[in-house]
Structure 1
Amino acid sequence: SVGGTLKAILMKIDDSSANAFCLDAGLLYKDYYPNLNLAAVLTNLGTKPKFVSQSDPLPLSIRLGSAYNLPKSLPIPLLIALDTNLSPLYVALGIEGQISPIFSARAGYASGPADEGSGLTAGIGITIKPTLSLDYAIRPYSELGLSHYISLSTRF
């Protein structure tokens, strides 16, 4: 599968704000091995956010990942995911439990520098229709506090 996301990014630090627009693109190879999926993603290809007079590019990254669906005989279907960013190098590990056909809970840990969002993460997912879902995630971001992520996804 091939996919992409157009992102509008809004940032605020004290009284200054900035915005940017970018593209994420990815490839997914399903069932490389039974229950194992492999992926590659390019993120943050786009414009530079500008705070007052300073403009800095968003961190362009290439990520590789894998996900393994644990046996369906478990009381709650579980997915374990491993994500690796190549530049700078870091590793993230997460787990997702499908509590009901429409609700999923997620937790994880990302290594790396504190100013790049390392630490414990959490999130939820709601499947509105088989082709439409709403996701929310939260993760620490050093002295800036918590970052909140909300996404609405469609599949076709």
Structure 2
Amino acid sequence: MTGARTAVEWLASAAPDPEACRWEWERSPGGVALLPAGKVWDVLILPAGLGRPTFDVLTRVTGRPGPVLVDLRDARTGFFVPAGTAGRWVGTGVRTAGPGTWLVVPYPGRPAAGGVRWLVPPDGSGTLTDPALLELAMHEAAAGLAGGEGP
């Protein structure tokens, strides 16, 4: 499973000690790691009701966005964006994870026992969601929700 291995390497590169992170992650019964945002990527976290419609619009426009996490109840959706985005984000209702923030991240290619799962797992290439496209997708999704239509 070369793609999953590459994705693991890419994600672990965000950890202070990537080798220790991979070792623990691969042996963890929960299949999750605590990784810092702000080095390799930031995450924009959308609330329930807006996250999934935004994801639907984004995939319609881009085909495949960068990595996307979702909690098991679909209450929050986290889009991986370039590092530095969190510090510049000014939208309301969106939580940001940048420097100083740690996230529970499931092992790619394996179901997680924790409360989060990959909606779009990383492919190891480093592809991230363009924040400008994400913002446009959020606006279209919100307009669709306000008009009573699906995105």
What TM-score bracket applies, with the shorter chain setting the length? under 0.3
Larger RCO, structure (CA 8 Å, separation 6 or more): 2
Structure having the larger proportion of residues in strand = 1
TM-score, normalization by structure 2: 0.24
Q: Structure 1-normalised TM-score? A: 0.23
Rg larger for = 1
